[in-house]
């Protein structure tokens, strides 16, 4: 028998698990344990044994084609196959180039709830569509927006606001206008010069104000920008302005805040904010231009639709 043509065989009794049963799970989120049940004819979940068969024993992630197996029938995902130096992680036998086509067919027959169902997502997807949805699901948790460290904390907005306040000790303000002063004794140091994040609460939403220095090509610059703590669709309902100035001159910026779904680095590298060259920033600072003393003012407002004219009008927060 040609080894490359071997397929794994799975008992049909393990393949399908039909409707009208309860699928429950308990997960931890935001420091709290949340138990959720999905009940009724709209809930479809695999038998535990089948679900475990589709879990890679190395990375524990769900396997997607090509699914590989050893001569003894042990399976693993294609990513991990390259990591195990051609040895089965279960029996240590040499791996060939065998596809487990039967298990791939099993996966095609399954429909699963989104893994964020305990956070509110009601959707159910074919196995091979589920992963793409989850990468974009509006119910997926947000990453911590703090830029001063590689913070791995995730959660909903309420949890992250408390995390920013209690763990990162960020400045918290209520209101839609701000007037901040940024000082640096040695403005020639631009690498990793990130000032404390400021969080604003207005219109019932939270916004993050960033200010930092970095090298833009050969030019050292400062940049200020605002991020919305929510999804991009909701962020489009708001506009913000930033202004710096001195000696009778000023620079202004007006734009839409970016969602915290976009990473801090992605927003910064897109230059979507107020960028001030270092020489201009020192000019605005006054004095002998050897110390940065830059004042940034701004405002956030919400665009509201005028029911009579259909035109968006700004709703200023006092």
Q: Can you give the pLDDT at residue 21?
A: 35
Res. 188 pLDDT band, cuts 50 70 90:
low
pLDDT for the residue 161: 96
> Is residue 18 pLDDT above 70, yes or no?
no
Q: Is the pLDDT of residue 251 over 60?
A: yes
**Span 257-306, pLDDT tens digits:** 999 999 888 998 899 999 998 888 888 887 676 778 888 999 999 977 55
The answer on pLDDT for 36 being more than 50 is no
Q: Where are the beta strands (DSSP E) in 4-62?
A: 22-29, 32-39
Helices (H), 82-180: 101-109, 127-136, 157-166
Average pLDDT over all residues of the chain: 78
pLDDT surpassing 70 at residue 244: yes
Assessment of whether the complete model's pTM goes beyond 0.75: no
Pick from 253, 257, 238: nearest CA to 301? 238
Q: What is the mean pLDDT of residues 191-210?
A: 85
Pick the CATH number of 3-136 from 3.30.40.10, 3.30.300.30, 3.90.1150.10, 3.20.20.80: 3.30.40.10
| Confidence at residue 46, expressed as pLDDT on a 0 to 100 scale | 43
Question: What does the pLDDT read at residue 96?
Answer: 82
Q: Which pLDDT score, from 0 to 100, does residue 160 have?
A: 95
Query: Mean pLDDT, to the nearest integer, of 205-219?
Result: 88
- Do you find a cis peptide bond into 66, omega within 30 degrees of 0? yes
Give every strand in the sheet of 75-77, ordered side by side. Answer: 75-77, 67-69, 98-99
Domain ranges of the chain: 3-136, 142-316
CATH number for region 142-316: 2.60.210.10
Task: Return the pLDDT at 301.
Answer: 93
**pLDDT above 60 for 34:** no
How far apart are the C-alpha atoms of 94 and 107, rounded to whole Å?
Answer: 25
Q: What is the pLDDT of residue 236?
A: 94
The token pair at 297 is 């003012």
């Amino acid at each position: 028998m040609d080894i490359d043509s071997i397929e794994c065989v799975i008992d049909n009794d393990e393949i399908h698990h039909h409707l009208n049963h309860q699928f429950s799970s308990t997960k931890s989120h935001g420091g709290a344990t949340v138990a959720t049940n999905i009940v009724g004819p709209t809930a479809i979940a695999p038998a535990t044994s089948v679900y475990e068969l589709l879990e890679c024993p190395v990375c524990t992630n769900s396997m997607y084609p090509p699914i590989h197996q050893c001569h003894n029938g042990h399976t693993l995902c294609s990513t991990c196959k390259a990591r195990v130096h051609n040895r089965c992680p279960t029996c240590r036998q040499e791996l060939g180039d065998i596809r487990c086509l039967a298990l791939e067919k099993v996966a095609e027959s399954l429909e699963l709830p989104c893994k964020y169902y305990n956070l509110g997502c009601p959707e159910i997807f074919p196995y091979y569509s589920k992963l793409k949805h989850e990468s974009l699901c509006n119910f997926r948790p947000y990453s911590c927006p703090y830029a001063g460290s590689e913070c791995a904390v995730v959660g909903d907005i309420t949890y992250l606001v408390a995390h920013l306040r209690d763990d990162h000790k960020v400045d918290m303000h209520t209101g839609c206008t701000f007037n901040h002063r940024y000082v640096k004794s040695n403005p020639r140091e631009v690498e990793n010069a990130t000032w404390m994040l400021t969080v604003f609460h207005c219109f019932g939403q939270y916004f993050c104000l960033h200010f930092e220095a970095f090298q833009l090509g050969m030019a050292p610059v400062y940049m200020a920008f605002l991020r919305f703590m929510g999804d991009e669709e909701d962020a489009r309902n708001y506009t913000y302005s930033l202004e710096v100035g001195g000696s009778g001159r000023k620079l202004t910026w007006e734009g839409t805040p970016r969602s915290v779904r976009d990473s801090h680095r992605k927003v910064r590298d897109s230059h979507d904010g107020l960028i001030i060259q270092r020489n201009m920033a020192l000019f605005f600072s006054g004095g002998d231009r050897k110390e940065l003393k830059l004042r940034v003012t701004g405002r956030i407002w919400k665009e509201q639709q005028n029911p009579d004219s259909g035109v968006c009008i700004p709703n200023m927060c006092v």
